[in-house]
Amino acid sequence: MMKTVYTCFCTDVIHDGHRNILREAKKYGRVVVGALSDKALVRYNRFPTLPFEKRVELYRSLDGVDEVVTQDDMLYDDIIAQLRPDYVVHGDNWKTGSERLLRENVLHALAQYGGELIEPAYTVSPEVQAIDANLREKLAMPEYRRRRLRTLIEMCPIVKVIEAHNGLTGIIAEKTVVETDGKLDQFDAMWVSSLCDSTAKGKPDIELVDMTSRIRTLEDIMEVTTKPIILDGDTGGLIEHFVYNVRTLERLGISAIIIEDKTGLKKNSLFGTEVEQTQDTIEHFCEKIRAGKQVQLTDDFMIIARIESLILEKGMEDALTRAFSYVKAGADGIMIHSRKKDPTEIFTFCDRFRAADSKTPIVVVPTSFNTVTENELAAHGVNVVIYANQLTRSAFPAMQRTAADILRYHRAKEVDDTLMPFSQIITLIDEL
C-alpha cells in the first residue's frame, strides 16, 4: 500500500524551495499538500494576496501533488490526527527561531503512531530570496495594508495592537513572537498615539505636533513594517481639516483613525476631571464622523469613535447614547475609555452595547485596568485591545539609567550587560 506524505504550504507564489519539497516528498509516497486557511494565515501575519480558492487551485496544479486539503491552524495536531501520514516533509529552516515550536508540535503528533519527519535542506537561492522580498514588499503596499485591520477583526477572537512611535518600535511590533501556552503569539497591528509621538519628539501631548509631522512618523514606520496601523487622531480637529486628513491617511494605507469626542485644548484623558476637559456635543461629533466617511474612496479605511463619557464621569447612559448615535452616523467602531483600575464599568458598557449591537467593533485601551486579560475582554464582546504606551514607558527609564551610570562610572563598561549586542542590532534591521 502506498504511503502518505504530508506537507503544508502558506504561499501565494511557488518557487524552487516548494518544488524541492515536493520532489523530496514524492520519493516516499502519495503527496498531500495542506493549504493553510486564511484564518490561520491572518492570525500569524502571513496575509494572503491570493484568495484561498486560488491558492488551492495553484497547489493542485503542481507536479507531484496528489491531493490538497485545508489546514485550519498553524499547529499540525488536528491535520496529522485526521490524515495520519506516514511522513511529514518540511524544510530544515524551522529548527531555530520561533517556528521551532511548530516543529516540536509535529514531532509530538507523529510520535503518537510512529510517523516520521523528513527535513530537506532549506533552499537558498537568488530566486527564493527575491520572491520572499517581493511578497513582503507587496504586503507593505497601501492597498494591502489598509484593508488588513477589517480582515483581522473578522477572523480573530481579539486583535492585539501595540504602540509604535518610530521605525525601531515598529520593527519590534512587527517581529516580536513568543511561545505561550503551546502556541505562537504576536501582535496583529500597531498603534501610533499622539502621546508617544509627542513624547518621542520631546513635546507635550496637546495636539502640538501637527499632522504633517505625524505623517512623517507614519512613513518611517510603514517603510520597515507590513502590519496594519491605527492612528490616534485626538479630536480630529476642525471638520474642514479632518476630511483632508482622512483622504491623506487612506491614501497612505493607514487602516483606521480613532477620534475622541472632546473639544478645546487637548489634555490626556487619564487626567480625567483633574484638569478641565470639554466633551463635544453628540450632534457636532456625528457631523464630523459623517463628513469623514463621505470623503473616503474605499470601504477599507475605518473611522472609530472614542467616547470620553466614563473618563469625564458623565455616566453609563451618556456613554451608551453617544455610542449608538456615533454608529448611526457611520462610525466603523467604538472605543470606550476608562481610567478606573477595576474593569467593571468597561464590562458593563460592552455587555449593554452588545445586547443592542452585535456587529460594530469595540476597542479598549487597558492602561489603567491592566489586570484584565484578553480572553476576559473578548468574552464581553471586545474586538480590539490596544497596548498604548508601554514601549515608551519602558524605554525611557532604561535610557535614563544607562546615561546616569555612564556619568557615575566615567565609562561605559558597567552598562554593557544591559545593552543589546551589536550583532542583534545589525540583524534586527532587514537589508533590501
Identify whether 205 is a catalytic site residue.
yes
Least confident of 48-52, 87-91, 126-130, 216-220: 126-130
Residue 12 has pLDDT above 90, yes or no: no
- pLDDT at residue 39, as a whole number: 85
Confidence of residue 267 (pLDDT cuts 50, 70, 90): low
- Write the pLDDT tens digit of every residue in 164-183: 999 999 999 998 988 777 77
Percent of the chain with pLDDT over 70: 96
For the chain, what is the radius of gyration of the CA atoms?
24
- pLDDT at residue 45, as a whole number: 61
Per domain, the residue ranges of the chain are: 4-132, 141-388, 394-428
Q: Are 222 and 229 in contact (CB under 8 A)?
A: yes
Tell me the three cell numbers of residue 221.
Answer: 514606520
For residue 335, the cross-strand partners are 306, 363
Helix 126-140 and helix 16-26: axis angle, to 10°?
120
Distance CA 342, CA 133 (A): 45
- Write the pLDDT tens digit of every residue in 340-349: 999 999 999 9
How far separated are the first and last CA of the chain, in Å rounded?
48
Count, residues in the chain:
432
User: What average pLDDT does the chain have?
Assistant: 91
- Write the pLDDT tens digit of every residue in 407-425: 999 999 999 999 988 777 7
Helix 344-356 and helix 316-329: axis angle, to 10°?
40
Fold of the domain built from segment(s) 4-132: Rossmann fold (3.40.50)
Torsion, CA 283, CA 289, CA 294, CA 299, rounded to 10: -150
Classify strands 183-186 and 177-180 as parallel, antiparallel or unpaired: antiparallel
Distance CA 151, CA 49 (A): 12
- Write the pLDDT tens digit of every residue in 199-252: 888 888 877 888 899 999 999 999 999 999 999 999 999 999 999 999 999 999
Better-scored residue on pLDDT, 97 or 389: 389
- pLDDT at residue 386, as a whole number: 98
- pLDDT at residue 128, as a whole number: 72
- pLDDT at residue 169, as a whole number: 95
Q: What is the DSSP string of 309-365?
A: TTTTT--HHHHHHHHHHHHHHT-SEEEE----SSTHHHHHHHHHHHHH-SSS-EEE-
Phi-psi region of 262 (alpha: psi -120 to 50; beta: other; left: phi over 0): beta
Residue 405 has pLDDT above 60, yes or no: yes
Residue of 38, 86, 205, 261 marked active site = 205
Q: How far is CA 331 from CA 190, 256, 325, 328, 425, in A?
A: 20, 11, 9, 7, 41
142 backbone dihedrals φ, ψ, rounded to 5°: -50, -45
For residue 333, the cross-strand partners are 304
> What's the average model confidence in pLDDT over 295-299?
95
Confidence of residue 274 (pLDDT cuts 50, 70, 90): low
pTM to 2 decimals? 0.89
Q: How far is CA 74 from CA 41, 46, 77, 148, 165, in A?
A: 8, 11, 9, 19, 30
Tell me the three cell numbers of residue 392.
Answer: 515608551
- CA nearest to 90, candidates 147, 21, 145: 21
Distance CA 67, CA 56 (A): 10
DSSP three-state, residue 140: helix
Percent of the chain with pLDDT over 90: 73
Residue 377 has pLDDT above 90, yes or no: yes
- pLDDT at residue 49, as a whole number: 78
Q: What is the CATH number that goes with domain 141-388?
A: 3.20.20.60
Confidence of residue 130 (pLDDT cuts 50, 70, 90): confident
> What's the average model confidence in pLDDT over 95-100?
82
DSSP three-state, residue 77: helix
Least confident of 104-108, 110-114, 276-280, 371-375: 276-280
